[in-house]
Amino acid sequence: MRLFRRRPPAGLPENWVEIVERNVAYWALLDDPEREQLGELMEALIEEKRWEAAQGFALTDEIRTVVAAQAALLILGLDFDWYRAVQAIVIHPSDVITYEPIPGPAGTMEEGPFSLLGLADHRSGPVLIAWDAAKANARHPAWGRDVVLHEFAHKLDMLDDVVDGTPPLHRPEDGPRWHDVCTREFELLQDGAGWPLRDYGATDPGEFFAVATEAFFNLPLQLEEAKPDLYEVLRDFYRQDPGARVRRRAAAS
């Protein structure tokens, strides 16, 4: 077995590998170059973004490291610039209560208060994360949900200024297929044929993209089998193949 060794990147705690190994199940699926890359992205997230705790709560190395690892995973095949719209990451101990109106279905605004596990505010606003949910999700990918992947996926979607379930695609010619596949799958989810996607993805196309992202990373084999076209467009966008990682890991053990 090869041991993963490298000096801790600046900004990460000495024992960051140990923290990630213990808390982030996904770590086991990554190979050494991916782990190294993950560490670099985590370092950039911790150094370059503002991290805040909700009132009465305090950030720890564990919190920053686990949230940064999950957020870094999302852009492992992209690069750090994809988080240019993330200014701040605000961690709450548990559900976030917001009194702000939030967008509802079909362009309406709904009045608070709301209890949320996370929130990705429009454009340059902060990403809010409930730590208890983030921690549980990182340990249990088989639940198919992940608040960190979900909220940071919204941030990618917002890069073109509209939360419409379509982040900036790498090639304009990919647009028609992306729209065809996502529209079809969004409608299937609304009709109750969305498995393994969570029903919440039927709320609107923006939520569809965030929910599909959660399944793509956490239930890749199920998604690939049930919805191969959706898997493929997400694989091409994220430039990652989580299903191949699961197979590689299974073959090695």
Comparing CA positions, the residue from 70, 191, 82 lying closest to residue 138 is: 70
Stretch that binds Zn ion, among 33-41, 80-88, 129-137, 201-209 (CB under 5 A): 201-209
Residue 196 vs 201, nearer CB to Zn ion: 201
* Distance (Å) of CA 188 to CA 113, 204, 235: 31, 13, 20
Cα 236–chain centre separation: 16
Residue 118 vs 243, nearer CB to Zn ion: 118
Residue 15 vs 203, nearer CB to Zn ion: 203
3-class secondary structure per residue, 68-107: HHHHHHHCCCCCHHHHCCCCEEEEECCCEEECCCEECHHH
- Minimum distance, C-beta of residue 90 to Zn ion, in the bound complex (Å): 16
Q: Is residue 156 part of the contact set for Zn ion (CB under 5 A)?
A: no
Q: Binding pattern to Zn ion, positions 204-233, x when CB under 5 A?
A: ---x--x-----------------------
For 192, the token pair is: 């109750």
Residue 29 vs 129, nearer CB to Zn ion: 129
Give how many residues touch Zn ion by CB under 5 A.
Answer: 2
| Residues whose CB is less than 8 angstroms from the CB of residue 233 and which lie 6 or more positions away in sequence, other chains included | 174, 177, 178, 181, 182
Footprint of Zn ion on 33-92 (CB under 5 A)? none
Cα 216–chain centre separation: 10
Stretch that binds Zn ion, among 32-40, 60-68, 190-198, 199-207 (CB under 5 A): 199-207
Q: Is residue 19 part of the contact set for Zn ion (CB under 5 A)?
A: no
Comparing CA positions, the residue from 90, 150, 160 lying closest to residue 125 is: 90
Measured from each CB, the residue nearest to Zn ion is: 210
Contact 160, 209 (CB under 8 A): no
Residue 130 vs 210, nearer CB to Zn ion: 210
Interface positions with Zn ion (CB under 5 A): 207, 210
